[in-house]
Amino acid sequence: MAEEAGYINYFETLALPNGANPGEVRKTYRKLMKQLSNQISSVEMTPERQSQFIMQIATMNAAVYVLKDKERREAYWTEREALIALEAEWCSLDESDIERHNKLRGHFDNEVNAFLSKYVQEMAQNAGTDNEVIEASRWDEAHARHATQLLRQYRHHLYHEILERLPYHEVTKPIIDWEERQRVVGELLEGLC
């Protein structure tokens, strides 16, 4: 769903319906990891592909790590739902209520950063120390080092995906005529040639 884009859904990562039980999660993870290993060994490795595969493995590892544990999984889902509700509340506010807007913006920004930091970066890193995950994904220190920067990048990518839907505050909302923009792009290119 568009309004949930950016709030990483680990059930989707493992191609499972929301609420799938830990047994299903483990089974699907092992199956997907096997498929991915076969895919990795069948292609010529380039730096771009390597980064892409490491990200895929890191995200799947984080997914199984979060969803196989009852407490972690409940905490994750509750925090995610609360954030989605908070975004909906903020977006439905009357634009003239600047004080309430600013208050919710600050609160939401803190919450969304904490959520993404915890569930995108921390959980992927913690998953790398889980024996079951290490065995299935052959995750090692070198992978963890490589993944650090990629995960940070991915976190910001998700943050921006959410940000795109939120009310503007540092700048007024731009009114963009894309036909006019295309003309400007053409002019800029011609002018600089």
Give residues in contact with other proteins (CB under 8 A).
Answer: 47-48, 149-150, 152-153, 155-157, 160, 163-164, 168-176, 178, 181-182, 184-186, 188-193
Shortest spacing between CB 44 and other proteins, in angstroms: 13
Please count the CA atoms within 13 angstroms of the CA of 30 that sit on its side-chain side. 8
Count of other CB atoms within 10 angstroms of residue 173? 9
Please count the CA atoms within 13 angstroms of the CA of 193 that sit on its side-chain side. 6
Cα gap 14→120, rounded to integer Å = 15
Shortest spacing between CB 36 and other proteins, in angstroms: 22
Compute the radius of gyration of the chain from its Cα atoms.
Answer: 20
Q: Give 16 or 120: the residue with its C-beta nearer to other proteins.
A: 120
Cα gap 64→20, rounded to integer Å = 11
Q: Give 73 or 155: the residue with its C-beta nearer to other proteins.
A: 155
Q: Give 78 or 113: the residue with its C-beta nearer to other proteins.
A: 113
Shortest spacing between CB 154 and other proteins, in angstroms: 8
Cα gap 29→74, rounded to integer Å = 19
Q: Give 82 or 98: the residue with its C-beta nearer to other proteins.
A: 98
CA angle 52, 47, 148 (to 5 degrees): 55
Joined together, the tokens standing for residue 33 give 């990891």
Q: Kindly report the backbone phi and psi dihedral angles of residue 129, in degrees, each rounded to the nearest multiple of 5, phi listed first.
A: -110, 0
Shortest spacing between CB 188 and other proteins, in angstroms: 5
Q: Give 30 or 105: the residue with its C-beta nearer to other proteins.
A: 105
Shortest spacing between CB 46 and other proteins, in angstroms: 9
